[in-house]
């Protein structure tokens, strides 16, 4: 992905319709800033950026055994080349876990980058939970597009500033990456990257 062409946008999408209104203006700037740092597909080498092969992470990717991203406090962690999500349980979900040892700072986010194509036109949609409680639903997600083509290329949840104010507190969280579109319209997502960027 050409990071110079990536920008966050306040777009709604037919896959998920927002159920609540959130304060997103500052968050869009945070997403764009984090994307510039991450580089999404090929992040810059720096002391604060860690890039891992998604398929080699510990954990099965299930609800009870999520793939482990480790401590993400003050760093950017990118899990690259995650296999596509496909239709039907449990294949339309993949779970990841990360830990914050302090509250997130502005800007911070978690989400996925991807490149849709005619055969794999379903986006990857994140939600965030802690224990049995969902903290952020997919409807809180912010879409990003390639500015040159207009194609969707990512969806992110803001961790700081948190929707409605505040920031995500310290703790261990579970991210559920989901395929939401009906198999009648698309059987699969593309390969994707998971990005957690915490200031």
Tell me the pLDDT tens digit for each residue of 114-134: 999 888 889 999 999 999 999
Residue 130's pLDDT is 97
Rounded average pLDDT over 80-85: 97
HSE toward the beta carbon, residue 135, CA cutoff 13 A: 20
Sign of the alpha-carbon dihedral angle for 156, 160, 166, 170: positive
Spatial separation of the C-alpha atoms in residues 185 and 11, rounded to whole Å: 20
Question: pLDDT value at position 89?
Answer: 82
Specify the residue for token string 């609540």.
Answer: 20
Give CA–CA dist 164/141, Å, rounded: 14
Over 60: is that where the pLDDT of 20 sits?
Answer: no
| Cα 62 to Cα 66, 194, 196, distances in angstroms | 5, 15, 19
How many Cβ atoms sit within 10 Å of the Cβ of residue 118?
6
Domain that holds residue 133: 3-13+21-197
Residue 15 has pLDDT above 90, yes or no: no
pLDDT surpasses 70 at 61: yes
What pLDDT score was predicted for residue 190?
Answer: 94
For the chain, the domain total comes to 1
pLDDT at site 193 = 98
Residue 44 pLDDT > 90 = no
Burial of 148 (C-beta count, 10 Å sphere; 0-12/13-18/19+): exposed
Is residue 1 pLDDT above 50, yes or no?
Answer: no
Closest to 141 in 3D by CA, of 171, 180, 103, 106: 180
Q: Which of 23-37, 52-66, 97-111, 176-190 has the lowest mean pLDDT?
A: 23-37
Residue 40 pLDDT greater than 60, yes or no: no
pLDDT above 70 for 24 = no
- Quick one: pLDDT band at residue 47, thresholds 50, 70, 90? very low
Listed ranges 22-26, 132-136, 161-165; the one with the highest mean pLDDT: 132-136
The half-sphere exposure of 12 on its side-chain side, counting CA atoms within 13 A, is: 8
What CA–CA distance (Å, rounded) separates 143 from 146? Answer: 10
Q: What pLDDT, on a 0 to 100 scale, did the predictor assign at position 37?
A: 43
Is residue 185 pLDDT above 80, yes or no? no
């Amino acid at each position: 992905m050409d990071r110079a062409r990536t920008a966050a946008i306040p777009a709604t999408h037919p896959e998920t319709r927002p159920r609540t209104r959130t304060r997103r203006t500052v968050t869009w700037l945070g997403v764009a800033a984090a994307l510039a740092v991450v580089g999404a597909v090929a992040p810059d080498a720096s002391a604060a950026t860690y890039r891992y092969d998604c398929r080699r992470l510990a954990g099965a990717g299930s609800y009870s055994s999520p793939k482990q991203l480790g401590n993400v406090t003050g760093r950017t962690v990118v899990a690259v080349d995650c296999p596509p999500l496909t239709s039907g349980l449990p294949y339309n979900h993949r779970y990841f876990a990360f830990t914050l040892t302090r509250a997130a700072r502005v800007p911070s986010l978690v989400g996925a980058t991807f490149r849709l194509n005619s055969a794999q036109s379903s986006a990857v949609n994140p939600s965030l939970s802690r224990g049995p409680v969902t903290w952020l639903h997919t409807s809180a997600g912010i879409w990003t597009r390639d500015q040159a083509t207009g194609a969707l290329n990512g969806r992110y949840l803001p961790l700081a500033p948190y929707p409605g104010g505040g920031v995500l507190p310290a703790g261990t969280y579970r991210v559920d990456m989901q395929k939401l579109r009906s198999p009648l319209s698309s059987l699969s997502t593309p390969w994707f990257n998971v990005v957690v960027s915490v200031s």
